[in-house]
Structure 1
């Protein structure tokens, strides 16, 4: 499946927009100091005390501890935090200062610059600015400093930005049952089509994040990077996931027919791809006839959703660019939350949400006026 549509529009593999760059920080070549800082960042979290002499055993333990420290946050989060620090360091140098040690006054000015924008570059959204601030706080901790986000130079500026620029969150459109069936119908009947059919149906019925889909292994402890494993039973499949909120089990029941059954689609893929160990969803050969060993990237799920949305003609009333922007990996989770006619607590459990309020954010067509307070009050 190509990454370009018929008219040349690129299908982005990520749900997150490209990092917005303030016009006050052009994309120039990294200086030697910046490279040194990034290298220091990689070494900073774990190291031997200065008074302890290194040895082969201790050095190996340091490397192991660094790997664990790196795994404490998601890979995409780590990449975002590295980009946040690089952007801030470049901004500081353009303003004639240094990023270390932390200056609450300069960080307040940095936030103001991000919000105001400059020239033809618009200001960043409040959520992006808050993410940048979290990235700076994390980076300072890695370098042995503490950033006081409650300091008035930071807190009051951020509060003003929220007051003036806050907007309701832009939600991705839900993929509903008729949509998912139309999308599945566009897939070929080769090995690649079997795999992608299983991805879409399991992702929808399980309410899974795209990272959860591609991190699944066939069995427990099959690979070091496993994010969970599957167990296929008579009545369905149980997915054990190491999710953001900790380990949880997701039950995916069998469908009303083989054509719509996510468990049957998964069984077909595993059988014909001859997968009985390791990653469940792997790459295929160019001709789509042979399963390879390498695990799929979560970006494949995003590309798959966008491409099949186009091929199925979903929201054909909109221009292609707008249709691509409407749907993402989260559209599968939102689709399940919006279409499952069950008690809300079951949807909350399936999605792994800690609160019912978070689940309601995913329900795009919830019956908002089921309880009519106007009539209940006698009007």
Structure 2
């Protein structure tokens, strides 16, 4: 691998592009510009696309962006920028892909020598960076062979040396949610919105992106990831998650103050919403509701701030508690609290396997099935 420094200094980056929509010389609508400086391949402007194909070219660009979420693209961009900066400092070329270069890079990530101010990355972070590089190269019409020994063997060694059990976010239980609701002002639009987000997120076992991606009805906005239907017995939430589309039933609660359906209905009524995003920004010193959809990070901030204000896990220091809670705490809370057959929780969360659902059950009775006694001891 030491020879790679000499090999890369002699490497000249060649531009490649996919076949263009135009018969004249030009760039493909989805072909990225090949630049080691660019954090992500950009969608090039199609100046020479025939006029009758212009609308198709615009649509194609939209589909390229829709292929991954905004958060995923942002993470890919940051990882590519991180890799490119390391290559520049190491006098190596990020393009075209060299397994030896990537092997040296992930070694630097694991040892904390990417730059002076960087600590060693966790195994999961390094694996994400590898996925980002593979995606970024693919967008440039290039391929990174992750099975190459310079990458695969080094990565196996990193896992064996540095792998740790995953750090899970704290689950918020039913009593925690009730305490968190009490920290919100029911007399304000922001308080009503936040109550609805907490309750539907908890009862539906929704991801933070699924919560803010909801519309009041079907096919109302282009950036929607689902919609709600208010029925007599509850809410039917149709949502597109990581595993595809699924329907989530959110039944009415035992009392109005903690009922997710009542909370959503109250928010819709006082916010005077008719169509479009369900959860929006509150503007004008809390007196107006804007048209813009909330960012999913707002859900994480809401869970964290209300959990801290309610004194959830008061046995921990404030700094520890701040790290324990996130939007994921809602899903973990439902999985841990719902005393029903496991398969119903699995369906609600949209998990492909029961094992994944069990990982979310933070406070379950791990010894409910005692194989020691069952074996006769």
What TM-score, normalized to structure 1? 0.86
**Structure 1 residue 60 displacement after superposition:** 3.2
Q: Measure the CA separation in 1 of the matches of 2:201 and 2:357.
A: 17
Q: Measure the CA separation in 1 of the matches of 2:245 and 2:163.
A: 34
Q: Measure the CA separation in 2 of the matches of 1:102 and 1:36.
A: 11
Given that 1:283 and 1:293 are in contact with CA atoms closer than 8 Å, whether structure 2 keeps it comes out as yes
Secondary structure of the equivalent of 2:143? coil
Q: Measure the CA separation in 2 of the matches of 1:258 and 1:153.
A: 60
Q: Please, which runs of 5 or more residues in structure 2 have no aligned partner? A: 1-32
Given that 1:194 and 1:268 are in contact with CA atoms closer than 8 Å, whether structure 2 keeps it comes out as yes
**Structure 1 residue 201 displacement after superposition:** 0.5
Superposition RMSD in Å: 1.9
2:16 corresponds to which residue? none
1:298 corresponds to which residue? 296
Q: Measure the CA separation in 1 of the matches of 2:209 and 2:274.
A: 21
Q: Does 1:103 align with 2:98?
A: yes
Q: Measure the CA separation in 2 of the matches of 1:274 and 1:127.
A: 44
Q: Which residue of 129, 134, 140 corresponds with 1:132? A: 129
**Structure 1 residue 321 displacement after superposition:** 1.5
Q: Does 1:250 align with 2:245?
A: no
**Structure 1 residue 38 displacement after superposition:** 2.4
2:332 corresponds to which residue? 334
1:262 corresponds to which residue? 260
Given that 1:108 and 1:154 are in contact with CA atoms closer than 8 Å, whether structure 2 keeps it comes out as yes
**Structure 1 residue 61 displacement after superposition:** 1.9
1:269-321 deviation line (CA, Å, top 9, x unaligned): 11111112111111112432322211111111111111111111112222222
Given that 1:334 and 1:363 are in contact with CA atoms closer than 8 Å, whether structure 2 keeps it comes out as yes
Q: Measure the CA separation in 2 of the matches of 1:150 and 1:91.
A: 22
1:183 corresponds to which residue? 180
Q: Greater shift after overlay, 35-44 or 202-211?
A: 35-44
**Structure 1 residue 108 displacement after superposition:** 0.5
Given that 1:34 and 1:86 are in contact with CA atoms closer than 8 Å, whether structure 2 keeps it comes out as no
Q: Measure the CA separation in 2 of the matches of 1:40 and 1:265.
A: 41
* Larger relative contact order, structure 1 or 2 (CA cutoff 8 Å, min sep 6): 1
**Structure 1 residue 376 displacement after superposition:** 1.4
Q: Does 1:92 align with 2:87?
A: yes
1:231-271 deviation line (CA, Å, top 9, x unaligned): 01111000011111111100000000001100001111111
What TM-score, normalized to structure 2? 0.87
**Structure 1 residue 353 displacement after superposition:** 0.6
**Structure 1 residue 377 displacement after superposition:** 1.4
2:4 corresponds to which residue? none
Q: Measure the CA separation in 2 of the matches of 1:40 and 1:371.
A: 49
Given that 2:40 and 2:76 are in contact with CA atoms closer than 8 Å, whether structure 1 keeps it comes out as no
Map 1:53-72 to 2 at 5 A.
54-72=49-67
Q: Measure the CA separation in 2 of the matches of 1:305 and 1:40.
A: 32
TM-aligned CA distance change 1:263 to 1:40, over 3 Å: closer
